[in-house]
Amino acid sequence: MLGNFSYHNPTKLYFGEDSLNYLKDEFKNYGENVLLIYGGGSIKKSGLYDEITAILKDSGKNVAELSGVMPNPTLEKLYEGIKIARENNSELILAVGGGSVCDYAKAVSVSVNCDDDPWQKYYIRFEEPDCKIIPVGCVLTMAGTGSEMNGGAVITNHETKLKIGHVFGDEVMPKFSILNPKYTMTLPKYQMAAGIYDIMNHICEQYFSGEDDNTSDYISEALMKSLIHASRIANKNPQDYEARSNIMWTATWALNTLVAKGKTTDWMVHMLGQAVGAYTDATHGMTLAAVSLPYYRFIMPYGLKKFVRFATEVWNVNPDGKTDEQIAEEGLAAMENWMKELELVMKISELGATDEMIDGIADGTLIMDGGYKVLTRDEIVQILKESM
């Protein structure tokens, strides 16, 4: 049965080649002091930095900059951002980059006016902000995380070897996001593939929960089929605008909370992947790819009906003359073949994980209860060993 829920997403999106033209109009809605946040030098090489700073100047904004946001933003970097935002009385945070930069901007936005330690408050106790939140806008340069239209913010604490995400409420979601598929075309193919799998897994995390034949499942299947189709085109020609457009748009819909409605949602692949990332600092999408198949093969007997549907509806597996177990396994084998087409990392050992890290990674894996089976620590260890 489709349960009761409310749905609200306040993020305004501008999509397409002309989307940056709307940035100046958005700036009219905010104060004079803007904190511009970005990662490495890629936006300067592409010319995007010059375009944005010119718009900021034309809009009469006072701009403070914070660069060097890493792919897995750290707690130390969060403290740096809080300091700069406070010193400059920032009234808008503009994140230019991929999902990590957008995540980081949201973490800063809820922490600047927080009297408590943000790590303890948001990432250990999982409390909601009770202070003034600085609004965030995003200019996206990588498709994958969906951070441009959700309240998620993942931070890594190297001291405790924990990588934890907090999904904040509507008030923390970006106020606006600019999505130009051309900005994603400067990415190395490795990063493109990692983003594609992150999208796929976001959908799977929501799809593989519950037995209900509900609208969310039909939407999820369509999104997965669109992604698979576009990914194969982009894998052969990363400069194909239509394919990159569909990948970018699918990424947004995969995690703007819509397809989660009516679902309990799983998220154990993300918990396993993030725990691996805390030890290896590996690319997020690749950590998901490396742990997902061992996890899905482990839980498949507990959600067999949905895995059969996944095989037939998403991967076009012919069910004739086969047991449910055979159909379901054929679906996962088809996904595995697609993953190998994209040259995704299939083992956590390739990302730097060692046998000696297994116990620590298991200890850092948060156990969720929305999937088909609640894992024990021993089962987490087993899945991690099979991921090696």
Question: Could you read off the pLDDT tens digit of each residue along the chain, which spans 388 residues?
Answer: 667 888 899 999 999 999 999 999 999 999 999 999 999 888 999 999 999 999 999 999 999 999 999 999 999 999 999 999 999 999 999 999 999 999 999 999 999 999 999 999 999 999 999 999 999 999 999 999 999 999 999 999 999 999 999 999 999 999 999 999 999 999 999 999 999 999 999 999 999 998 778 899 999 999 999 999 999 999 999 999 999 999 999 999 999 999 999 899 999 999 999 999 999 999 999 999 999 999 999 999 999 999 999 999 999 999 999 999 999 999 999 999 999 999 999 999 999 999 999 999 999 999 999 999 999 999 999 999 999 9
| Contact between 69 and 116 (Cβ < 8 Å) | no
- Could you tell me if 71 and 110 lie in one domain? yes
Give pLDDT, residue 337. 98
Place of tokens 């897994």: 201
Domain final residue, candidates 183, 204, 238 = 183
- Could you tell me if 165 and 41 lie in one domain? yes
Give the contacts of 236 (CB within 8 A, at least 6 positions apart): none
Please state the separation of Cα 271 from the chain's center in Å.
Answer: 12
Establish how many alpha carbons lie within 13 A of residue 380's alpha carbon, considering only the half-sphere containing its beta carbon. Answer: 24
CATH classification of the domain holding 260 = 1.20.1090.10
- Could you tell me if 178 and 237 lie in one domain? no
| Contact between 58 and 149 (Cβ < 8 Å) | no
- Could you tell me if 193 and 175 lie in one domain? no
* 4 in a structural domain: no
| Contact between 35 and 88 (Cβ < 8 Å) | yes
pTM: 0.95
Tell me the C-alpha distance between 236 and 337, whole Å: 16
Give pLDDT, residue 1. 63
Domain final residue, candidates 128, 160, 183 = 183
Give pLDDT, residue 184. 95
* 1 in a structural domain: no
* 5 in a structural domain: no
- Could you tell me if 234 and 381 lie in one domain? yes
- Could you tell me if 201 and 311 lie in one domain? yes
- Could you tell me if 193 and 306 lie in one domain? yes
User: Length of the chain, please?
Assistant: 388
- Could you tell me if 294 and 358 lie in one domain? yes
- Could you tell me if 210 and 74 lie in one domain? no
* 117 in a structural domain: yes
- Could you tell me if 166 and 202 lie in one domain? no
* 6 in a structural domain: no
What's the domain range around 134?
12-183
The count of structural domains within the chain is 2
Domain final residue, candidates 163, 183, 203 = 183
* 3 in a structural domain: no
Give pLDDT, residue 6. 85
Q: Which of 222, 219, 224 shows the shortest CA–CA distance to 197?
A: 224
The torsion defined by the Cα of 166, 362, 332 and 344, in degrees rounded to 10, comes to 80
CATH classification of the domain holding 158 = 3.40.50.1970
Give pLDDT, residue 212. 76
- Could you tell me if 266 and 339 lie in one domain? yes
- Could you tell me if 150 and 205 lie in one domain? no
The torsion defined by the Cα of 291, 297, 303 and 308, in degrees rounded to 10, comes to 110
Give pLDDT, residue 357. 97
